[in-house]
Chains A and B, each alone.
Chain A
């Protein structure tokens, strides 16, 4: 999706996982930017039709970059700075009632 310029790649690396896969971001990245630079095509599926979505505006307006960060859902990936060791998961469709009850 995105690639780092030499200047972008020169920043210190940060390790994180996305849906269990090990990835490397860079200091100063937001979660959304790190996912795009790691070639992640879609970070969530929609609650209405399960359509894949990716970050769209990167400025906090569109909410298409919603992800699960360390177990907390509905986080705006474009407003959350990436931290070393973060466990990020894609947000899949709508939440089931059983899951809400547990």
Chain B
């Protein structure tokens, strides 16, 4: 692996550019380079690992039991990538990705690194942009002191830091219980775990229980929940939740099963209700997406080799649908075999033969996932906040009431029209934190399905870039002729 610290040191074109250095991206880049492709891996962070293996090579939390064995597995994947011939651009942001207007077969990628922008070309790309936590819009969720559970986990992995004072963890899903255990092991004072798992969810998940019984999740999951329940104050069937405080968090107010309000004073509230694919880049590139009813989120529409609807773009890992780290690495590997075949490094027979055991392993990894997806599907009141005063778009401070009003009274039928009326989704996060909620509110108000409502249509740049960086890019003859008279 060759690390590149300056955007000027990147080649002008690569056979394969992989975006994101998490499980899928590391596997895809290593496999691509091993098959002889000129491969570049770009990643926003300073060290490889993505979120799940965040700081695996640099974390100060060296006692293996604190972060757990699943975290340390990442070290082998990073080591394999390190041994490969791939180029690696850390702290590098991809802000656009599109078919190259000058060359049909190529993908043009806009990068920014150390305050300098650059356009490079790729014959094939694999987007491994991973997942983000599903928005959890409750009253008071913008107060300092309220964070995602994933954020606390990142602070622990990268800096060995834990939330100070009284900590409440709220929501549902395996990652929530994992984080509660990790933080407790690192010495945080967790005063309560408020579990929002919907009481009816177990019933809808039960038909999938057989698969779950034979899955790798079972033992791991039961251990996590049992550990959290044994050591921590565990409050089940939480049906309402609000963060309280004036200029910063002072406590959490909650109710169980429609009962009376209860309160806990706290200094930190960590929220989590599962993860959803990060589709900003594939969406802005113009790839077709579809709504996954089971996982309750949008994902890119892909073929058997994880190719998206646009030529030259494949999507691997949780960015293509949530499956966890192991499945992400396998999908990255399979996507790279597809690329190698499309670029003539492998014939179809060799490709299929090498992919077959990976696909079998992938099927094993994903067994039981449906049970978890259904069990931990967020309750409706945590997807579309009932309290109209709740902020939905954190950037532009648009409330649930405003979105409902625009949908009802003004007849706004989709998220893109909603942008024009309320500016929701037009702040710096570009809808990452409000998109799903705005769609839920429109669907609820107008009695439509989420698939009908649709999602924000995103456009590059998908990450902020300065005007100076854009202006400093070399211009094509055609672009100059278009404006100079």
- One of B151-159, B169-177, B477-485 at the interface: B151-159
Majority DSSP secondary structure for residues of A touching B? loop
Question: Given A1-B145, A54-B144, do A42 and B248 touch, yes or no (CB 8 Å)?
Answer: yes
Chain B nearest CB: distance from A79 CB in Å? 6
Q: Is B133 an interface residue (CB 8 A)?
A: yes
Residues of B within 8 A of A88 (CB): none
Chain A nearest CB: distance from B148 CB in Å? 5
Q: Is B257 an interface residue (CB 8 A)?
A: no
Question: Given A1-B163, A5-B187, A61-B429, do A51 and B158 touch, yes or no (CB 8 Å)?
Answer: no
Residues of B within 8 A of A51 (CB): 142, 397
Contact A3 B164 (CB under 8 A): yes
Contact B62 A7 (CB under 8 A): yes
Give Cα distance in the complex from A42 to B147, angstroms.
12
Residues of A within 8 A of B91 (CB): 79, 81
Chain B nearest CB: distance from A2 CB in Å? 4
Question: Given A28-B55, A28-B58, do A64 and B394 touch, yes or no (CB 8 Å)?
Answer: yes
Residues of B within 8 A of A2 (CB): 155, 159, 161-164
Residues of A within 8 A of B161 (CB): 2-5, 8, 33, 36-37
Interface residues of B in 54-70 (CB under 8 A from A): 55, 58, 60-63
Interface residues of A in 38-83 (CB under 8 A from B): 39, 41-42, 46, 48-49, 51-64, 66, 72, 74, 78-79, 81
The chain A residue sitting closest to B280, CB to CB, is A61
Contact B397 A79 (CB under 8 A): no
Q: Is B44 an interface residue (CB 8 A)?
A: yes
Q: Is B311 an interface residue (CB 8 A)?
A: no
| Chain A residues within 8 Å of B, Cβ to Cβ | 1-5, 7-11, 26, 28-30, 33-34, 36-37, 39, 41-42, 46, 48-49, 51-64, 66, 72, 74, 78-79, 81
Enumerate 12 A-B pairs (CB-CB under 8 Å) in ascending A order. A1-B268, A2-B164, A8-B161, A11-B60, A28-B158, A30-B158, A37-B161, A52-B248, A57-B151, A58-B148, A59-B151, A74-B464
